[in-house]
């Protein structure tokens, strides 16, 4: 009710003034011509029209200001939202950059440790044996086998082992034979998490220390598999991320 009275107060005041003005002229004993009242009435109508026009202009201005304010608030909220999203992206990028730096440092250290004592143009079997030994020092592995490809008999022959029972006979395999042979054919890393119960009896020589994860890592040179590492671990290791660099370093030694 207060808002209604406040909004239309000037109309009430104009109406009261009109009534008082008419009452004033009616109270005068002097006889006035009819056109005088007509002109007076028209003048008040003009004033009323002017008031109405100004009223509409005023409230339109208020409404426009309100709309502008709402638009400003909307733009402000959008800007704050975008700013928040931008900050989140910056934080993610910074986090990725830190992770990349840490990984780069970790990779350099890992490569350094893996290739200690290896020599260029040294017998590949000896280099692979050294790398497998360094694997056991760098990663928490249960056991491991390194194979080298023998061109004469077309077999991958075991050349080094780690934590394998001496009583276990590790047999060579052909390309495409067993999981290791298939990995040599595919030329891709194979990660086995759902390990078959007979895997160690049929396809592997990793012994009785049953790992949770087995990594089969082919060494590729000139699109040919020249060596193979079979490594067992109780937990995941980041060998897959670094393997392309390890593979490149191994092939440089050959």
236 with 145, same domain: the answer is: yes
State how far the alpha carbon of 156 is from the alpha carbons of 28, 45, 172, 185, in Å. Answer: 130, 110, 5, 12
Assess whether 133 and 69 both reside in one domain: no
- Same domain for 122 and 19, yes or no, is no
Q: Is residue 101 part of a domain?
A: no
Q: Measured in whole angstroms, how far is the alpha carbon of residue 244 from the centre of its chain?
A: 24
Cite the beta strand spans of 107-239 per DSSP E. 141-150, 155-162, 190-192, 213-221, 224-233
Q: What is the mean pLDDT of residues 61-67?
A: 85
User: What pLDDT sits at residue 10?
Assistant: 61
Domain-embedded: residue 148: yes
Question: Are 141 and 215 contained in the same domain?
Answer: yes
Q: Examine the fold and report which residue of 37, 67, 88 is the final residue of a domain before the chain moves on.
A: 88
The answer to whether residues 54 and 122 belong to one domain is no
> For residue 245, what pLDDT is reported?
95
Check residues 135 and 25 and name the one with the higher pLDDT. Answer: 135
The verdict on 153 and 55 lying in the same domain is: no
pLDDT tens for each residue of 140-176: 888 899 999 999 999 999 999 988 877 778 899 999 9
The answer as to whether 130 is a domain residue is: yes
In a domain, 139, yes or no: yes
The verdict on residue 165 lying in a domain is: yes
Q: Work out the burial of residue 65: count CB atoms within 10 Å of its CB; fewer than 13 is exposed, 13-18 middle, 19 or more buried.
A: exposed
Of 175 and 46, the structure prediction assigns the larger pLDDT to 175
Distance between CA 69 and CA 99 in Å, rounded? 44
Residue 7 sits in the same domain as residue 83: yes
Residue 103 placed within a domain: no
For 45-60, the DSSP string reads HHHHHHHHHHHHHHHH
Distance CA 133, CA 221 (A): 22
| 72-76 contacts at long range (C-beta below 8 A, 24 or more positions apart) | none
Q: How many residues does the structure list for the chain? A: 254
Residue 192 lies in a domain: yes
CATH number at residue 235: 3.30.450.40
pLDDT at 123: 87
Nearest CA among 196, 179, 197, 201 for reference residue 188: 179
**Is the residue at 193 inside a domain?**
yes
Measured distance CA(37)–CA(34) in Å, rounded: 5
Question: In angstroms, rounded to a whole number, what is the distance separating the alpha carbons of residues 174 and 147?
Answer: 11
What is the average pLDDT across 197-217? 64
Question: Is pLDDT above 90 for 39?
Answer: no
Q: Does residue 62 share a domain with residue 168?
A: no
| Final residue in a domain of this structure, among 88, 104, 131 | 88
Same structural domain for residues 82 and 122?
A: no
Q: Is 167 exposed, middle or buried (0-12, 13-18, 19+ CB in 10 A)?
A: exposed
Structural domain count of the chain: 2
Q: Are residues 176 and 82 in the same domain?
A: no
Residue with tokens 């992206």: 89
Greater confidence (163 vs 27) lies with 163
Domain around 17: 2-88
Query: Is pLDDT larger for residue 77 or for residue 4?
Result: 77
Question: Are 221 and 162 part of one and the same domain?
Answer: yes
Picking from 67, 88, 109, the residue at the C-terminal end of a domain is 88
Q: Are residues 169 and 247 in the same domain?
A: yes
pTM across the whole model: 0.64
């Amino acid at each position: 009710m207060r808002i209604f009275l406040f909004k239309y107060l000037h109309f009430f005041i104009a109406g009261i003034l009109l009534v008082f003005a008419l009452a004033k002229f009616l109270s005068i004993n002097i006889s006035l011509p009819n056109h005088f009242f007509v002109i007076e009435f028209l003048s008040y109508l003009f004033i009323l029209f002017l008031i109405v026009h100004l009223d509409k202009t005023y409230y339109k201005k208020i409404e426009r200001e309100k709309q502008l304010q709402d638009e400003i608030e909307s733009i402000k909220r959008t800007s704050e939202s975008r700013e928040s999203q931008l900050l989140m992206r910056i934080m993610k990028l910074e986090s990725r950059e830190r992770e990349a730096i840490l990984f780069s440092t970790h990779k350099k250290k890992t490569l350094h440790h893996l290739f200690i004592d290896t020599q260029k143009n040294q017998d590949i079997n000896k280099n692979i044996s050294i790398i497998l030994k360094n694997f056991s020092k760098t990663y928490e592995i249960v056991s491991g086998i390194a194979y080298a490809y023998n061109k004469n008999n077309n077999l991958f022959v075991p050349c080094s082992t780690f934590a394998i029972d001496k009583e276990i006979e590790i047999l060579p395999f052909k390309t495409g034979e067993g999981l290791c042979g298939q990995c040599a054919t595919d030329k891709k890393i194979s990660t086995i998490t759902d390990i078959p119960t007979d895997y160690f009896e049929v396809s592997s020589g990793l012994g009785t220390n049953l790992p949770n994860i087995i990594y089969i890592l082919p060494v590729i040179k000139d699109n040919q598999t020249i060596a193979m590492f079979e490594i067992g671990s109780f937990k995941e290791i980041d060998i897959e991320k670094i393997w392309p660099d390890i593979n490149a370093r191994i092939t440089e030694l050959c």
